[in-house]
Amino acid sequence: MSDRAAVAIDSVHCRAICDEIGERLRFSHLRPLTELPTRLRELLDRLRDQELEDTPSIVPSIAELSCGTSVDREKSQLAYN
């Protein structure tokens, strides 16, 4: 148990506290954000900059996928059949 003394409250007061907390949460979530937090804005800027860079693709090209000869492909297809 914690060092704090337990406080017993009746259901009416408990409900009133819960309602007040809910109302404050609802109010805080309804306010529109006028500006993103600084750290989030920095990360989004960094992501945008990385997307604009000419980075190599991790997806193989058609040439890389079909590097064998047609005879090699026919043999491999026969092996699967």
Tokens of 38: 């600084």
pLDDT in tens, the chain (81 residues): 455 667 788 999 999 999 999 999 888 777 676 788 899 999 999 999 888 877 777 888 888 887 655 555 555 555 555
Beta carbons of 36 and 44 less than 8 angstroms apart = yes
Residue 6: DSSP 8-state: P
Provide the 3-class DSSP secondary structure of residue 71.
helix
Q: Look at residue 17 in the predicted model and tell me its pLDDT.
A: 94
Q: Where would I find the H helices in 3-69?
A: 11-30, 38-52, 62-65
Q: Look at residue 27 in the predicted model and tell me its pLDDT.
A: 82
